[in-house]
């Protein structure tokens, strides 16, 4: 899938792939079934009620979630949205140092 194509470029791709191949099929299936965004209720109309700081992170090449985060930021009163350049859906794997910096900076700001 194009969303996950940038993963192939990271040095630990084979290691990550081999770990994921060992995942339990039933467990993965249950996770997808139980946590599918299509099954979850929408709380978009209540996001404005969240009164604590929120950090949103997305990858530049993950157009879907970057747009979702941009929309979410307009509804959350105390949100910050960081877009990680040259990264796709798995920002924590593709750019771990930058991902960690954004999280640490966010936590230090609290």
CATH of domain 2-108: 3.40.50.1820
Inform me whether the pLDDT recorded for 4 exceeds 70.
no
Kindly indicate the confidence band of residue 3, based on its pLDDT and cuts at 50, 70 and 90: low
Q: Give the largest CA-CA distance in the chain.
A: 43
- What's 51's DSSP letter? -
Cα 89 to its chain centre, rounded Å, is: 6
Q: How many residues does the chain have?
A: 110
Distance of alpha carbon 23 from its chain centroid, rounded? 20
Residues 56-84: b if buried by 16+ CB within 10 A, e if exposed? bbbbebbeebbeebeebbeebeebebbbb
Count of CA atoms in the C-beta half-sphere (13 A) of 103: 9
Over residues 45-92, the pLDDT tens digits come to: 999 999 999 999 999 999 999 999 999 999 999 999 999 999 988 899
Predicted confidence (pLDDT) per residue in 92-106, tens digit: 988 999 999 999 999
């Amino acid at each position: 899938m194009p969303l996950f194509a940038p993963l192939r470029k990271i040095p630990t791709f084979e290691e990550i792939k081999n770990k994921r191949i060992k995942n339990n099929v039933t467990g993965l299936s249950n996770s997808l079934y139980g946590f599918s965004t299509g099954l979850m209720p929408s709380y978009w109309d209540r996001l404005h009620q969240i009164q604590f700081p929120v950090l949103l992170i997305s990858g530049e090449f993950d157009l879907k979630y970057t747009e979702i985060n941009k929309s979410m930021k307009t509804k959350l009163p105390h949100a910050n949205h960081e877009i990680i350049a040259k990264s796709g859906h798995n920002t924590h794997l593709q750019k771990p140092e930058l991902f960690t910096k954004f999280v640490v900076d966010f936590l230090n700001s609290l």
